[in-house]
Amino acid sequence: MSSGAANAVDTLCLAEADKTACIAGTLRTEADVVPDVTLTITGPGGFSEEVTTGETGKWNVQVTEPGAYVVKIDEDSLPDDVVTDHPEVTINVGRLGATQAATLDVRTGSYSAESSKFDELVQSTVNGLRLGLLLALASVGLSLIYGTTGLSNFAHAEQVTLGGILGYYLINRGGLSLIVGGILVVVICAFTGWFQDRVLWQPLRRRGLGLTQLMIVTIGLSLALQYCYQYFVGARTVRVVQDNPEVSTFGPITITNQSIVAMAISVVVLAAVGYALLRTRIGRATRAVSDNPALAAASGIDTDKVIRLVWTVAMALAGLSGLLYALVTNGIKWDTGLQILLLLFAAVTLGGLGTAFGALLGALIIGLVVEISPVLGMPGDFKYATALLILILLLLVRPQGLLGKPQRVG
């Protein structure tokens, strides 16, 4: 049995692979953080420990066994103007080597349940926009590849994983700054896109392989990359930055500064891609190849160069998405790409196959649906299924997607 004295926890808890895990959180009302509140954490093997929230409302505890842990607020330690409707929460620590976030429900006494529900919806909307922008970075590249080659790249999500893992090794392990390491991640991922098309996809296209055969190759490449990630990283979850992020509050919205920066970067990069597609010569050539490759080639456009550039840019965008994903979420691991693959395809299909702007719109919708559906009563475990259900319903009404062009079959 473990028991610790109550003490302010405003320091960093680092989880060690196969040794320890961390449970952490920030106690916050709709108005401000709540310091000096005692929490009791109980779990397997008679584990019991008390911690006190620090000046920033943060707390954490380190555990050595996987299992279900109950985090309970000592209501007597709450300030007079703060109450809780749900004083305890159960956190499942599935494995060691990761940090599990625990969210405890506290509010000011004058704060009504109706306004709390509304603020929860606003918070989920912001989280959905963040997820949608991160998905958009990857799905735009996936859509461009499909538009110029007709190939559904099942290995595309592994590039997202690659971006996060490279960020971990260059920034956390290599000691590079976030800016320098991030630029290197994007450059390396861009090179992998160029390299893939140069040594794999272009030769296969010239040999006349059909799209079905090429798609099977992408599935094999996806599996190979997953095993490589397992070999180098193992099963643990890694984050790009290990320190506790700073949090900003805007009315009912609570968001980390890292998330704000990540969203701003996503908007700028997506705007730059949109401008390049609409206003530059290479962008117009890309759209021409996407619309009609044979006609584009007949008009003097080097389709191979355009396709190689698309692969390069698409992999760079996916790598940037993975880096930001590992920065602002609970981390990234070897199968993260596999988990978000269906969301990427759903975004591309929802917006319209082969249309970059459709992929952007589809990604934003998917991100919002995933984050908002639990607030509207959908069980949290079904939030991804909700997004896919909406995709199916829309395709029944509009098979070409939101921005896709209707095509005649037969």
Write down the pLDDT at residue 186. Answer: 97
For the chain, residues with pLDDT lower than 50 are 1-8, 408-410
Residues 6+ apart with CB under 8 A from 336: 160, 161, 164, 322, 325
Write down the pLDDT at residue 103. Answer: 82
Tokens representing 362 are: 């589809």
Domains, the chain: 21-108 (2.60.40.10), 117-397 (1.10.3470)
Write down the pLDDT at residue 6. Answer: 40
Nearest Cα residue to 289 out of 299, 278, 274:
299
Write down the pLDDT at residue 192. Answer: 96
What letter does residue 78 receive in the DSSP assignment?
A: S
Q: Which residue has the tokens 């760079």?
A: 316
Return the number of other C-beta atoms located less than 10 Å from residue 299's C-beta.
Answer: 10
Sequential DSSP letters for 202-255: HHHHHTT--HHHHHHHHHHHHHHHHHHHHHHHTT--B-S--SPPPEEEETTEEE
CA dihedral 231, 232, 237, 240 (to 10 degrees): -160
Phi, psi of 8 (to 5 degrees): -65, 125
- Asked if residue 355 lies in contact with residue 396, where contact means CB atoms within 8 angstroms, the answer is no
Nearest Cα residue to 27 out of 139, 81, 105:
105
Write down the pLDDT at residue 280. Answer: 92
Is the full-model pTM beyond 0.85? Answer: no
